[in-house]
Amino acid sequence: RFGLNQASFVVELASNDGYLLQYFVEQQIPCLGVEPAANVADAAREKGVPSLVKFFGTVTASEMQAAGQQADLLVANNVLAHVPELNDFVAGMKIALKPQGVITVEVSHLVKIIENNLFDTIYQEHYCYYLVSTLQRIFQHHGLTIFDVDELPTQGGSIRIYGRHSENTSLPISENVHRIIANEESNGYHSLQAYSRFAEQVAAAKRDLLACLIELKRQGKRIAAYGAPGKGNTLLNYCGIREDFLDYTVDRNPMKQNTFLVGSRIPVHAPEAIAATKPDYVLLLPWNLERELTEQLSYIRQWGGSFILPLPHLRVIN
């Protein structure tokens, strides 16, 4: 889309193990990852991705500028929610961007979190959740302009915004930007009432799930869970679900097996435990993977097992 080539320079902020930038390396497009975790940056270097072990902000951006490392494309995927000093971070993006460069930022869209009741994606390490209109104000404050937005299905509903220097008028502001911002305002996301309604629908989801589990346990049913994702911990701890409801959960990641979930202390086993113990119900904690997991676990039909999907609204699949 932006005509990147071997004369371009791509920078990714919070580049992790270089998963994205490795594809620029393959195309021989010069790139740099900025990653504060040294061990993770080492993994990126093993993929051939040059990596700078630093936290990003105005200081690091100025160092990059002095070293001739300003970006034609500056990427920040799923990092903005983790940034405590947001103004310093965005001001750094302004410094690290070439005059005709483009910024892309991916974040969860607060509208989708509320519409789809995705409260289990709210984690302690997330400082903020964003509207496009919020991001627009932050960018404008630092001399940047959002000129386009993509709506993505990832994480229950995300946005990818495209930014540029405000003085670079060669990239016009798309209708998508105006449409999404207008929708945010017309649907009340600039008022407290929208968030009060969200609080009530979260509480209702908790009541529905607990009522279901209580009734099943009264009937003497055995219930296990599938998965040990972060979102599962949010759900279980908010609802107060412990081993009195769930016998165990399973996860395919060997690093998570033979451990306990944080807070709930529910044991985590290998997936084979489900076939061995034949629970009557399996609660899908990564419920957003419904199609994949119900196919993967279709064998529970052999003993009449059913699935429980807790969100966006409670469903039991027999």
Q: What is the CATH classification number for the domain harbouring 233? A: 3.40.50.720
Asked if residue 3 is part of any domain, the answer here is no
Please choose, from the candidates 141, 183, 190, the residue with its C-alpha nearest in 3D space to the C-alpha of residue 163: 141
- What was the pLDDT predicted at 155? 77
- What was the pLDDT predicted at 38? 96
49 and 115 part of one domain = yes
CA distances to 57, 100, 146, 254, 281 from 171, in Å: 25, 9, 10, 47, 53
Q: In whole angstroms, give the CA distance from residue 167 to residue 253.
A: 48
Q: What tens digit of pLDDT does each residue of 169-183 get?
A: 999 999 999 999 999
Q: In whole angstroms, give the CA distance from residue 110 to residue 87.
A: 19
Asked if residue 196 is part of any domain, the answer here is no
- What was the pLDDT predicted at 12? 98
238 and 126 part of one domain = no
Q: Is 14 left (phi over 0), alpha (psi -120 to 50) or beta?
A: left
Question: Which 8-state DSSP code applies to residue 36?
Answer: S
152 and 274 part of one domain = no
CB 102 within 8 A of CB 171: yes
- What was the pLDDT predicted at 218? 98
Domain final position from 190, 214, 242: 190
Average pLDDT across the chain, whole number? 96
160 and 242 part of one domain = no
- What was the pLDDT predicted at 262? 95
Q: What tens digit of pLDDT does each residue of 23-55 get?
A: 999 999 999 999 999 999 999 999 999 999 999
CB 221 within 8 A of CB 316: no
- What was the pLDDT predicted at 200? 97
Q: In the numeric block, which tokens belong to residue 41?
A: 């940056």
Question: Which 8-state DSSP code applies to residue 82?
Answer: G
Domain encompassing residue 304: 205-317
300 and 214 part of one domain = yes
Domain final position from 190, 216, 251: 190
CB 299 within 8 A of CB 244: no
CA distances to 110, 179, 200 from 190, in Å: 11, 15, 18
Domain final position from 190, 223, 255: 190
Which regions in the chain score pLDDT beneath 70?
A: none
Q: In whole angstroms, give the CA distance from residue 80 to residue 89.
A: 9
